[in-house]
Amino acid sequence: MIEEEWTTIALRLGLATAIGLALGFEREWRGHDAGLRTHALVALSAAMIMLSALMISDDLMRHGSRSDPLRVVQGLAQAIGFIAGGLIFVRSGDVRNMTTAASLWIAAAAGIAAGAGQFALVLIGTGMALLVLTLLSLIKRLMPTRHDPPAADDELVLPNRRGAIAKTED
């Protein structure tokens, strides 16, 4: 029975990670800021949090409890989203800290699962996250990027202090 649990967890987390990788590949290839690692980590952490909530609910139902710790999971997920969003910033047109924010989500998901005593979920999910972070860093260096050359008559468009777009004058 324990092997089935580990297999099911690995399959669910693996599928979420694969979907995140597929979406991230498309974004990476088109030159967008949130790419392979960010999408894979966000999909993986969402799956970890969902599985953790399902496992908590199942455990409580088996013991006949009527308490609702899933509200804690929901609150934690919202709070970590707020914190992770605060890490992301734009400098000179580049978005920074997307992967850091996504890895913070993984840390939160692992913390929720560890606190709930879901050790298989913690170990498999964290292992997959570490693979995504390390292996994809290496693969990203080898991956071709798509850069469309700007047209000669395109003007540089920059945001002003208030964030409004203003075209530059010659």
Q: What angle do CA 37, 41, 44 make, to 5 degrees?
A: 140
Number of domain units in the chain: 1
Cα dihedral angle (71, 76, 81, 84), rounded to 10 degrees? 180
pLDDT of the residue at 124: 93
Sign of the alpha-carbon dihedral angle for 35, 41, 42, 43: positive
pLDDT tens figures, 105-122: 888 888 888 877 888 988
Mean pLDDT of the chain: 78
Whether 164 is in a domain gets the answer no
Residue 70 has a CB neighbour count (10 Å cut-off) of 14
Mean pLDDT value of segment 54-82 = 81
Question: What's the predicted TM-score (pTM) here?
Answer: 0.59
Whether 168 is in a domain gets the answer no
Place of tokens 């929720």: 112
Whether 82 is in a domain gets the answer yes
Confidence check: pLDDT of 170 > 50: no
**Most trustworthy range by pLDDT among 27-41, 66-80, 121-135:** 121-135
pLDDT tens figures, 13-57: 999 899 888 877 877 776 766 678 888 888 888 888 888 888 888
pLDDT of the residue at 161: 58
- By residue range, what is the domain housing residue 88? 2-147
